[in-house]
Chains A and B, each alone.
Chain A
Amino acid sequence: NAGVTQTPKFQVLKTGQSMTLQCAQDMNHEYMSWYRQDPGMGLRLIHYSVGAGITDQGEVPNGYNVSRSTTEDFPLRLLSAAPSQTSVYFCASARGVAKNIQYFGAGTRLSVL
Protein backbone atom coordinates (compact mmCIF):
# COMPACT_ATOMS: atom_id res chain seq x y z
CA ASN A 1 0.00 0.00 0.00
CA ALA A 2 1.95 3.04 -1.30
CA GLY A 3 -0.19 5.83 0.19
CA VAL A 4 1.27 9.23 -0.77
CA THR A 5 4.41 9.13 -2.90
CA GLN A 6 6.63 12.15 -3.42
CA THR A 7 9.49 12.43 -5.90
CA PRO A 8 12.28 13.35 -5.83
CA LYS A 9 13.40 12.96 -2.20
CA PHE A 10 16.23 15.47 -2.60
CA GLN A 11 16.88 18.22 -5.13
CA VAL A 12 19.41 21.01 -5.52
CA LEU A 13 18.55 23.89 -7.85
CA LYS A 14 20.26 27.06 -8.92
CA THR A 15 18.46 30.36 -8.56
CA GLY A 16 16.15 30.89 -11.51
CA GLN A 17 15.77 27.24 -12.44
CA SER A 18 12.37 25.65 -12.64
CA MET A 19 11.23 22.25 -11.50
CA THR A 20 8.19 20.19 -10.60
CA LEU A 21 7.76 18.28 -7.37
CA GLN A 22 5.64 15.22 -7.98
CA CYS A 23 2.96 13.88 -5.65
CA ALA A 24 0.74 10.86 -6.23
CA GLN A 25 -1.74 9.09 -3.97
CA ASP A 26 -3.44 5.75 -4.49
CA MET A 27 -6.18 6.08 -1.86
CA ASN A 28 -8.72 7.85 -4.09
CA HIS A 29 -8.70 10.84 -1.73
CA GLU A 30 -10.51 13.96 -2.85
CA TYR A 31 -8.39 16.41 -0.89
CA MET A 32 -4.71 17.08 -1.56
CA SER A 33 -2.36 19.74 -0.20
CA TRP A 34 1.20 20.99 -0.39
CA TYR A 35 3.02 22.26 2.71
CA ARG A 36 6.49 23.54 3.34
CA GLN A 37 8.32 23.02 6.61
CA ASP A 38 10.87 25.55 7.77
CA PRO A 39 12.77 25.61 11.09
CA GLY A 40 10.75 27.19 13.88
CA MET A 41 7.67 27.65 11.68
CA GLY A 42 5.94 24.30 11.53
CA LEU A 43 4.17 23.39 8.30
CA ARG A 44 2.65 26.11 6.17
CA LEU A 45 0.05 25.48 3.49
CA ILE A 46 1.11 26.45 -0.04
CA HIS A 47 -1.77 25.25 -2.23
CA TYR A 48 -4.58 22.79 -1.85
CA SER A 49 -7.21 21.00 -3.91
CA VAL A 50 -10.66 19.71 -3.01
CA GLY A 51 -10.97 17.60 -6.15
CA ALA A 52 -9.77 17.14 -9.72
CA GLY A 53 -9.81 20.44 -11.56
CA ILE A 54 -10.18 22.52 -8.37
CA THR A 55 -7.24 24.23 -6.68
CA ASP A 56 -6.83 27.20 -4.37
CA GLN A 57 -4.13 29.13 -2.56
CA GLY A 58 -2.96 28.51 0.99
CA GLU A 59 -0.91 30.75 3.28
CA VAL A 60 2.28 31.00 1.21
CA PRO A 61 1.40 30.51 -2.50
CA ASN A 62 3.77 33.02 -4.10
CA GLY A 63 6.32 31.43 -6.43
CA TYR A 64 4.40 28.16 -6.74
CA ASN A 65 1.85 26.82 -9.19
CA VAL A 66 -0.32 23.71 -9.00
CA SER A 67 -2.79 21.84 -11.13
CA ARG A 68 -4.97 18.79 -10.50
CA SER A 69 -5.95 17.05 -13.70
CA THR A 70 -6.55 13.68 -12.01
CA THR A 71 -7.60 12.54 -8.56
CA GLU A 72 -4.27 10.79 -8.05
CA ASP A 73 -1.73 13.48 -8.96
CA PHE A 74 -1.02 16.94 -7.56
CA PRO A 75 2.28 18.36 -8.87
CA LEU A 76 3.86 21.51 -7.44
CA ARG A 77 5.75 23.73 -9.87
CA LEU A 78 8.48 26.22 -9.02
CA LEU A 79 8.72 28.50 -12.05
CA SER A 80 11.86 30.42 -11.05
CA ALA A 81 13.48 29.06 -7.91
CA ALA A 82 14.73 31.45 -5.23
CA PRO A 83 16.90 30.76 -2.14
CA SER A 84 13.84 31.57 0.02
CA GLN A 85 12.24 28.41 -1.36
CA THR A 86 14.86 26.22 0.27
CA SER A 87 12.71 24.02 2.47
CA VAL A 88 11.24 20.58 3.00
CA TYR A 89 8.05 20.09 1.02
CA PHE A 90 5.28 17.73 2.04
CA CYS A 91 2.31 16.58 0.03
CA ALA A 92 -0.78 15.30 1.84
CA SER A 93 -4.12 13.77 0.95
CA ALA A 94 -7.37 13.24 2.83
CA ARG A 95 -10.84 11.76 2.40
CA GLY A 96 -13.78 14.10 2.22
CA VAL A 97 -15.50 12.75 5.33
CA ALA A 98 -12.31 13.14 7.40
CA LYS A 99 -10.56 15.89 5.52
CA ASN A 100 -8.49 17.08 8.48
CA ILE A 101 -6.88 13.69 9.04
CA GLN A 102 -4.27 14.05 6.36
CA TYR A 103 -1.87 11.42 5.08
CA PHE A 104 1.56 12.81 4.29
CA GLY A 105 4.28 11.75 1.92
CA ALA A 106 7.87 11.41 3.10
CA GLY A 107 8.82 14.84 1.81
CA THR A 108 11.16 16.46 -0.72
CA ARG A 109 14.18 18.32 0.62
CA LEU A 110 14.92 21.21 -1.74
CA SER A 111 17.97 23.46 -1.70
CA VAL A 112 18.14 26.52 -3.92
CA LEU A 113 21.64 27.96 -4.29
Chain B
Amino acid sequence: DQQVKQNSPSLSVQEGRISILNCDYTNSMFDYFLWYKKYPAEGPTFLISISSIKDKNEDGRFTVFLNKSAKHLSLHIVPSQPGDSAVYFCAAPREYGNKLVFGAGTILRVKS
Protein backbone atom coordinates (compact mmCIF):
# COMPACT_ATOMS: atom_id res chain seq x y z
CA ASP B 1 0.00 0.00 0.00
CA GLN B 2 1.72 3.12 -1.24
CA GLN B 3 0.57 5.78 1.18
CA VAL B 4 2.45 8.60 -0.57
CA LYS B 5 2.12 8.81 -4.33
CA GLN B 6 3.92 10.86 -6.93
CA ASN B 7 2.14 10.06 -10.15
CA SER B 8 4.40 11.99 -12.51
CA PRO B 9 7.67 10.13 -13.06
CA SER B 10 9.24 13.10 -14.81
CA LEU B 11 8.79 16.79 -15.58
CA SER B 12 10.62 19.02 -18.03
CA VAL B 13 10.60 22.81 -17.61
CA GLN B 14 12.31 25.72 -19.29
CA GLU B 15 14.76 27.74 -17.21
CA GLY B 16 13.07 30.71 -15.55
CA ARG B 17 9.61 29.17 -15.61
CA ILE B 18 7.70 27.58 -12.74
CA SER B 19 8.11 23.91 -11.83
CA ILE B 20 5.19 22.26 -10.05
CA LEU B 21 5.71 18.83 -8.52
CA ASN B 22 2.71 17.01 -7.11
CA CYS B 23 2.19 14.50 -4.33
CA ASP B 24 -0.92 12.72 -3.06
CA TYR B 25 -1.33 10.80 0.17
CA THR B 26 -3.91 8.33 1.44
CA ASN B 27 -3.27 8.26 5.19
CA SER B 28 -5.33 10.98 6.88
CA MET B 29 -3.21 10.57 10.03
CA PHE B 30 -0.21 12.19 8.34
CA ASP B 31 0.32 15.62 9.89
CA TYR B 32 3.71 16.62 8.55
CA PHE B 33 5.20 16.45 5.07
CA LEU B 34 8.67 16.87 3.64
CA TRP B 35 10.31 17.27 0.26
CA TYR B 36 13.75 15.84 -0.39
CA LYS B 37 15.95 16.49 -3.40
CA LYS B 38 18.39 13.96 -4.81
CA TYR B 39 21.22 14.36 -7.30
CA PRO B 40 22.73 11.33 -9.05
CA ALA B 41 25.26 9.39 -6.96
CA GLU B 42 24.32 11.37 -3.85
CA GLY B 43 21.95 10.81 -0.97
CA PRO B 44 18.69 12.76 -0.67
CA THR B 45 18.88 16.14 1.04
CA PHE B 46 16.08 17.85 2.90
CA LEU B 47 14.50 20.72 0.99
CA ILE B 48 11.37 22.02 2.69
CA SER B 49 8.58 20.81 4.97
CA ILE B 50 5.05 21.73 6.00
CA SER B 51 2.90 20.98 9.01
CA SER B 52 -0.76 20.12 8.57
CA ILE B 53 -1.73 23.22 10.56
CA LYS B 54 -0.52 25.32 7.62
CA ASP B 55 -1.52 25.38 3.98
CA LYS B 56 1.63 27.03 2.68
CA ASN B 57 5.31 27.23 3.54
CA GLU B 58 7.83 29.26 1.61
CA ASP B 59 11.62 29.21 1.55
CA GLY B 60 13.20 31.36 -1.12
CA ARG B 61 12.32 29.98 -4.55
CA PHE B 62 10.59 26.96 -3.04
CA THR B 63 7.00 26.92 -1.82
CA VAL B 64 5.01 23.92 -0.63
CA PHE B 65 1.21 24.01 -0.66
CA LEU B 66 -0.97 21.61 1.30
CA ASN B 67 -4.61 20.83 0.55
CA LYS B 68 -5.75 18.57 3.38
CA SER B 69 -9.27 18.02 2.05
CA ALA B 70 -7.83 16.70 -1.21
CA LYS B 71 -4.90 14.95 0.53
CA HIS B 72 -2.62 16.69 -1.92
CA LEU B 73 0.53 18.72 -1.70
CA SER B 74 2.64 20.42 -4.30
CA LEU B 75 6.10 21.91 -4.52
CA HIS B 76 6.53 25.07 -6.58
CA ILE B 77 9.94 26.21 -7.76
CA VAL B 78 10.05 29.76 -9.11
CA PRO B 79 12.08 30.57 -11.10
CA SER B 80 13.45 27.19 -12.09
CA GLN B 81 17.19 26.90 -12.62
CA PRO B 82 19.27 24.20 -14.34
CA GLY B 83 20.78 23.32 -10.94
CA ASP B 84 17.31 22.31 -9.79
CA SER B 85 17.45 19.30 -12.12
CA ALA B 86 17.21 16.36 -9.72
CA VAL B 87 14.82 13.75 -8.36
CA TYR B 88 12.31 15.14 -5.88
CA PHE B 89 10.75 12.92 -3.23
CA CYS B 90 7.70 13.68 -1.17
CA ALA B 91 7.69 12.05 2.30
CA ALA B 92 5.63 11.83 5.47
CA PRO B 93 6.44 10.40 8.91
CA ARG B 94 4.49 7.32 9.92
CA GLU B 95 3.75 6.68 13.58
CA TYR B 96 6.44 7.87 15.98
CA GLY B 97 10.16 8.02 15.59
CA ASN B 98 11.93 8.55 12.30
CA LYS B 99 9.87 6.27 10.06
CA LEU B 100 9.48 8.18 6.83
CA VAL B 101 7.28 6.98 3.99
CA PHE B 102 8.49 8.19 0.60
CA GLY B 103 6.83 8.64 -2.75
CA ALA B 104 8.41 7.13 -5.86
CA GLY B 105 9.98 10.45 -6.86
CA THR B 106 9.71 12.83 -9.81
CA ILE B 107 12.65 13.56 -12.08
CA LEU B 108 12.80 17.28 -12.81
CA ARG B 109 14.76 18.50 -15.82
CA VAL B 110 15.26 22.24 -16.19
CA LYS B 111 16.36 23.14 -19.70
CA SER B 112 18.53 26.20 -20.30
B70 contacts partner chain A, Cβ-Cβ < 8 Å: no
Q: Are A45 and B99 in contact (CB under 8 A)?
A: yes
**Beyond A92-B43, A100-B34, A100-B49, is A31–B98 a contact (Cβ under 8 Å)?**
yes
Chain B residues within 8 Å of chain A by Cβ, number: 24
**A43 CA / B34 CA spacing, docked (Å):** 13
Main secondary structure of the interface of A (DSSP, over half): strand
User: Given that A4-B43, A43-B89, A106-B41 are contacting pairs, would A100 and B98 also be in contact in the complex, using a CB cutoff of 8 Å?
Assistant: yes
Which residue on chain A has the smallest CB distance to residue B4?
Answer: A42
**Contact (Cβ within 8 A) B43 A31:** no
Please measure, in the bound complex, the distance between the C-alpha atom of A4 and the C-alpha atom of B99, giving whole angstroms. Answer: 18
Q: Which residues of B contact A99 (CB under 8 A)?
A: 93, 97-98
- Residue numbers of A with Cβ under 8 A of B are 4, 31, 33, 35, 40-45, 48, 50, 56, 58-59, 90, 92, 94, 99-107
With A40-B104, A42-B89, A101-B34 known as contacts, the answer to whether A58 contacts B43 (CB < 8 A) is: no
Seen from chain B, the residues whose Cβ lies within 8 Å of a Cβ on chain A are: 4, 6, 9, 32, 34, 41-46, 49, 89, 91, 93, 97-105
Would you call A102 and B97 a contact (CB within 8 A)? no
Extra inter-chain contacts (14) besides given A59-B101, A99-B98, CB under 8 Å: A31-B97, A31-B98, A33-B98, A33-B100, A42-B105, A45-B101, A48-B99, A50-B97, A90-B43, A92-B98, A100-B49, A101-B46, A107-B41, A107-B43
Residues in chain B near residue A41, CB distance under 8 A: 104
> In the complex, A12→B101 CA distance in Å?
28
Task: Name the residue among B46, B89, B93, B103 with the largest chain A CB count within 10 angstroms.
Answer: B46
Please give, as numbers and ranges, the residues of chain A lying within 8 Å of B99 by CB-CB distance: 33, 45, 48, 58
**Interchain residue pairs with CB less than 8 A apart (25):** A4-B43, A31-B98, A33-B98, A33-B100, A40-B9, A40-B104, A41-B104, A42-B4, A42-B6, A42-B102, A42-B104, A43-B44, A43-B91, A43-B100, A43-B102, A45-B99, A59-B101, A92-B98, A94-B98, A100-B98, A102-B98, A102-B100, A103-B45, A104-B43, A104-B45
